[in-house]
Amino acid sequence: MSPLAITACTLTTALGAGNAATLAALQAQSSGLAPVRFENLPLPTWTGEVEGVDAVALPADLSDFDCRNNRLAWLGLQQDGLRDAVAAARARWGGRRVGVFLGTSTSGLLQTEHAYRHRGADGALPDDFRYGPTQNTFSVADFAARALGLDGPAWVVSTACSSSAKVFGNAARLIEAGLIDAALVGGVDSLCLTTLYGFNSLELLSTQICRPWDAARDGLSIGEAAAFALLERDATTPPQGWMLGLGESNDGYHMSTPHPEGAGAIAAMRAALADAGLAPSDIDYINLHGTATPSNDAAEDAAVGAVFGTATPCSSTKGATGHTLGAAGGVEAAIALLAMRHGLMPGGLNVQQRDPALHLDYLVANRVAPVRRVLSNSFGFGGSNASLVLGAAS
């Protein structure tokens, strides 16, 4: 593919709202994870909850969209001049030539959970419950497009944890086909009971803070996030970075367990490198999917080793943000851009003892060095895999 300019990018996670807060936390190697407070759940686990989401007020003309997921999206859209950048792209290309492609896994499911708590005696849901603009999976893209005055193609990808990486490919293909000239991509996923109890039922939640690549890792910590990037056919000013390539695969190995040898992950990484016209040695840093479940980390270690060998520095940032599910690909793309702009390979947090069975050059402390190209992995349930290659601005 031809490189696409990333002219704006932002993320809001448990580390804070915006790029500056995220960078400061990464540089300090501090985590946003804490024992679960959300909804006063009795689960013994840790979460990455974004502060202040419940207090966010949507604009009056968008009040029908009011739910936690869209409040989180609105909070994220306010950061790092993103709305101004989108307005400039709209003025340059026209609102119909700017697409909106976002990833999510549960959308506004919490709103439906609340509605079920307040059913009438006959079981009817409350009259003020609006499924369409809240829980409906398309809700977040519809909300963002309306909030930003965009009339181009818009949709949501919901392929679990690969969702907001795959939307980069959606945008690239439509731009290459000449159907649009720019696109807002990324993802939003907010905490809800179904997610937390669902992962708990699968015995995938850790009772402690998650520890990717640790010998005693025993599960993940769920987070929430909003991440957005603006892709354009070209840039009139120096961009924040470049989208160089994307690889996708679906190995269909198991509904919730990765292929033990990482077959689909290998295919996605090789396809991403081929799309970017790069060799494995051209990648300076790999942001791993790295969820801290025993099977995920082992499979990804094997897959990355098969493509890159064991010398490329890599780490998972989920020990800082938690696993933000449908938003993870967008979050980690934004972190990759920060890594390149500031020469920072972030160390993976919470490792007490490296797993001797894993062989990658997994960083447990920050490494300050030039970072020109990053590969970021996002691997979802059902074997839905995406690997994204990003390049530095200059």
Q: Please tell me the distance from the alpha carbon of residue 268 to that of residue 255, in angstroms, as a whole number.
A: 18
Report CA-CA distances (Å) from 225 to 69, 164, 244, 316, 359: 9, 11, 24, 16, 30
6 within 8 A of 241, measured Cβ to Cβ: yes
Write down the catalytic residue from 192, 210, 259, 289.
Answer: 289
Please say if 9 is a catalytic residue. Answer: no
Q: Which of 61, 84, 18, 232 is nearest to 147 (CA)?
A: 61
The torsion defined by the Cα of 317, 15, 33 and 382, in degrees rounded to 10, comes to -50
Please say if 359 is a catalytic residue. Answer: no
Write down the catalytic residue from 161, 192, 210, 314.
Answer: 161
134 within 8 A of 108, measured Cβ to Cβ: yes
Please say if 254 is a catalytic residue. Answer: no
Which ranges in the chain belong to alpha helices (H)? 19-28, 68-77, 82-93, 109-117, 139-148, 163-176, 193-201, 263-276, 294-308, 318-321, 328-342
Q: Which of 227, 240, 265, 242 is nearest to 22 (CA)?
A: 227
Write down the catalytic residue from 114, 259, 314, 323.
Answer: 323
Question: What are the residue numbers of the active site?
Answer: 161, 289, 323
